[in-house]
Structure 1
Amino acid sequence: MSGRETVSDRIYVGLSGWGDHDDLYVKGTKPADKLKVYTQHFPIIEMDNSFYAIPSPNKMNKWSMQTPDNFGFIVKAYQGMTGHSRGKIPFSDMRTMFNVFKESADVLGKQDKLKAVLFQYPPWFECERKNVEILKRTREWMDGFPVALEFRHRSWFLPEYREKALQLMRDEGWIHSIADEPDAGVGSIPVILESTQSHATMIRLHGRNASGWHASGQSNWREVRYLYRYNAEELEEWRRNILLLLNSTEECWLIFNNNSGGDAADNAKQLMKLFGLESGPEPVRQLEWE
């Protein structure tokens, strides 16, 4: 299927988190009201606060109640579940941690608002047999939940492993989370335009700030890493990529994660307009400039 007029109901564009995008909110908007305002702009969101702490079911239900029935959440897996915490977890064991997380995410699942749980593994999670076993165990423990998988170590997509990694995702039921990020060595991955599940493919656009990608030792590394604004040519490139992916997957979910300079919302709306999607109100900053 191709053509801008035929794909609008199969493309979902959103942002990572709802608290950092000041352009979306008038001055004085309360933090508790931001998610509700966000839904006026985008139909999907990546919940990133779940990476730092597992929300309670009550908190998850409260957030869900602020969104319309057709809204979608991609919930980022807690850092202890992906190895980012290097084994330090505030639970008695790994299985308990997974069960607590599933109880929380299931609130959205029962309300038909859970698109997927995103497992983004750290840069030191290499293509090794022990890590393949971790992926299989994780998929088993997340049985009944839709899951997406994003790597950060390039070894998974080296020529000798690429097809095996993709086939693993297909066989185990992982939605491929395609990353757009700078070419910055083994701690980054190339764009791999492959769908692994027929119902959905995820794309996360992190920006292409190569010089800031390895700023982990700096106190402001998060701000530096994701400081990037996509230009018109790069967004057009992604329009073409998405049309290609839609030949092999029913839906594409795009999450802009270039949050540091306030560019994510603007870029997301630009891409939506390329597809003729309803992009909601203009960002507050843009209105102030007019």
Structure 2
Amino acid sequence: MQEHPLFIGTAGWSIASRYAAEFPAQGTHLERYARRLGCVEINTSFYRPHLPETYLRWAESVPDAFRFSVKLPKTITHEAGLVDAEAALDKFLQDIAGLGKKLGVLLAQLPPHLKFEMQTADGFFRLLRGKTASHIALEPRHPSWFGHEAESMMKTHHVARVAADPSRAANGDEPGGWDRLRYFRLHGTPDIYYSDYDAESLLTIGRRVAASAAGGAEVWCIFDNTANGHALGNALSLARSLGKPGKEPQDS
């Protein structure tokens, strides 16, 4: 049976001191991180632009098989509400072009107040899909995005709906949309961004992730419970349990 891509990582690549021994001693944080985990989610792009040279440098510093997920800027998702966003979208795509083949996913997280409106959503994702062949993951947070019309729109444009924990809506913890990509974003429960996932929770997450991969999808599992540094430990534990750890650290 063909093995489908399975990527496990965190939002950002900070390495807390308590995990330092799990990583090589030499290199930047990203270089060290990329020796142990296969992907990372860039969240800072949501808040501010980075220079094209920065993305190029990041891409050049990681192994060939490593992949980046990049979050769309808030100017597009939150301020413009997906409307009249072509100029901002073009600028963003130009900035990240240096990631090249190491760009794995474009992530669009919507504000909780943004309701599903077919004309707006269809127009935006038609525009985005016309500009990129990269995978697209969408994390909507208003219940109106979890109905049949929104699901159909996402499938039409090959957009995967994020499976988020904790969920903001019924079935929000289940992946949806285009079924060739499954993207899990684990923010921490019960305290979002702060809570650790215990061993039992990680077993459950592992079963869900493995089942999605066995179903033929490319699977991403991103831990975003970064406030107390738990994300990195959770990602390493899950990667080990699924047989997906990177190279072991080596003494220099």
Category of TM-score, reference length = shorter chain: 0.7 to 0.9
Match of 1:107 among 95, 98, 103: 98
C-alpha distance in structure 2 between counterparts of 1:115 and 1:147, whole Å: 9
User: Is the contact between residue 175 and residue 184 of structure 2 (CA under 8 Å) also seen in structure 1?
Assistant: no
3-state SS of paired residue (1:155): helix
Distance 2:134 2:44 in 1: 19
Residue 221 of structure 2 aligns to a residue in which SS? strand
Structure 1: any 5+ residue segments left out of the alignment? 213-224, 283-290
Greater Cα shift, 138-147 or 261-270: 138-147
**Any residues of structure 2 matched to 1:168-187 within 5 Å, and which?**
168-181=153-166
RMSD: 2.9
Q: 2:41 touches 2:68 (CA, 8 Å); kept in 1? A: yes
* TM superposition score normalised by structure 2: 0.84
Give the one of 53, 61, 64 matched to 1:58: 53
Alignment map for 1:34-73 (pairs within 5 Å) = 34-73=29-68
The C-alpha deviation readout for 1:187-218, integer Å capped at 9, x for no partner, is x86312446142x3211111112xx5xxxxxx
Contact kept? 1:50, 1:78, Cα under 8 Å? yes
Q: CA deviation at 1:47?
A: 0.8
Q: Structure 2: how far apart are the matches of 1:95 and 1:131? A: 13
Cα distance between partner residues in 1 of 2:115 and 2:143: 8
Matches within 5 A, 1:218-237: 225-237=192-204
Amino acid in the other structure paired with 1:275: L
8 Å CA contact retained: 1:179, 1:191:
yes
Aligned residues between the structures: 244
Counterpart residue number, 1:222:
none
Quote the Cα distance in structure 1 between the aligned partners of 2:40 and 2:127: 23
**Rounded Cα–Cα distance in structure 2 between residues aligned with 1:55 and 1:238:** 33
TM-score by length of 1: 0.74
Q: CA deviation at 1:52?
A: 1.2
SS in 2 for 1:61: helix
Point out where structure 2 has 5 or more consecutive residues left out of the alignment: none
User: Relative to structure 1, is the Cα distance of residues 131 and 248 closer, same or farther in structure 2, using a 3 angstrom cutoff?
Assistant: farther
Q: 2:186 maps to which residue?
A: 205
What is the deviation of 1:127?
2.2
Amino acid in structure 1 at the alignment position of 2:47: Y
What is the correspondence of 1:110-259 to structure 2 with a 5 Å cutoff? Answer: 112-129=101-118, 131-133=120-122, 135-140=124-129, 142-157=131-146, 161=147, 163-181=148-166, 190-194=172-176, 196-198=178-180, 200-209=181-190, 212=191, 225-259=192-226
AA aligned opposite 2:108:
F
2:227 is paired with a residue whose SS is coil
Query: Percent identity of the aligned residues?
Result: 26
